[in-house]
Amino acid sequence: MRAAFATLVTNSDYALGALALARSLRRAGTQHPMVVLATRGAGDLEQLAAEGCRVLEVDQLPLSEAFRERHSRQAQHAAAPFTKGEKPLFHDPLDNFCKLRIWELEEFERVVFLDADTVVVRSIDKLFGYPEFSAAPNLYESLIDMHRMNSGVFVAQPDRATFDDMLERLDVPGKFWKRTDQTFLEAYFPDWHGLPYVFNVLQYVYFNLPKLWVWKSIRVVHYQYEKPWEHGHARTSQLRPLIDLWHAYLNGTEIPESVRVTPS
């Protein structure tokens, strides 16, 4: 099977995140390539190319001005504020929709997409055997979250016809996608296949659902909300073991045998 991992880089912060992700995939033993979709604001990506990543420059989607206004950072955060954690200042909701360009990569039969704020701690090559559209639940606060999808890790089958259809259904007059690409993909694939949550463990599981933080089973750690490269954010102390884990992948230093929940 012609298969690849892919991520999206829209600024220098996510370029750093993608570098840690690429290095984590290699340490997990994969032989599959990693494609980096990079927008014009992505910055210097030479290090990613040096890691063997294939960098593809992409534009934002051809969206109407009304759509852009509804999904600007100011409008998005006013209409659907993030109340559980802090989104970095560099977060531009419109960039999120560039993920849909994964379906343009028709040279591959399967693509496993990972957000640039994830690291792979154990092999996930088996995901190439899963069907489109497979994703893990948006689990980070309570078990009620199990019915919602998180688009930080998903399995796609590239197809230009699917991409064109997505564009038609995305930019509908008056339509507001509360959580951008995530809300759209959940609506576009209403019968999405559920991956085990261990393929996309959101970092808040660490302190909100500690019984589900089973290190030997975790395959992907996803740094939703606050990012591990940010200095002095509100969750720094609470998430210190996970921040140190991310830096170990970035810098190529020793990875801890176990990242356990510390007693509060």
Q: Do the domain assignments include residue 165?
A: yes
256 lies in a domain? no
139 burial level (CB within 10 Å; 0-12, 13-18, 19+): buried
100 falls within a domain: yes
| Total of domains in the chain | 1
Q: Is residue 264 part of a domain?
A: no
Full domain range(s) for residue 41: 3-251
First-to-last CA distance in the chain? Answer: 46
Whole-angstrom Cα distance, residue 70 to residue 72?
6
- Is residue 50 situated within a structural domain? yes
Report if residue 62 sits inside a domain. yes
- What mean pLDDT is reported for the chain? 93
What single-letter amino acid sits at 90? Answer: F
The strand order across the sheet containing 110-114 reads 54-57, 34-38, 3-9, 110-114, 149-156, 134-137, 193-194
Kindly report the CATH number assigned to the domain that includes residue 192: 3.90.550.10
Which tens digit of pLDDT belongs to each residue from 144-186? 989 899 999 999 999 999 999 999 999 999 899 998 999 999 9
pLDDT at 85: 64
Confidence of residue 80 (pLDDT cuts 50, 70, 90): low
- The per-residue pLDDT for 74 is 77
Count of Cβ atoms closer than 10 Å to residue 129 Cβ:
11
Contact status, residue 62 vs residue 68, Cβ threshold 8 Å: no
Where do we find the tokens 């504020």? 81
The model's pLDDT over 11-28, given as tens digits with 9 standing for 90+, comes to 999 999 999 999 999 999
Q: Is 258 a domain residue?
A: no
CA–CA distance, 89 with 157 (Å, rounded to integer): 32
Is the Cβ–Cβ distance between 118 and 77 less than 8 Å? no
Q: CA of 130: how far to CAs of 109, 125, 143, 154, 187, in Å?
A: 12, 10, 24, 10, 20
Domain annotation covers residue 211? yes
What is the tens place of the pLDDT at every residue in 101-140? 999 999 999 999 999 999 999 999 999 999 999 999 999 9
Torsion angles phi and psi, residue 68, rounded to 5: -60, -40
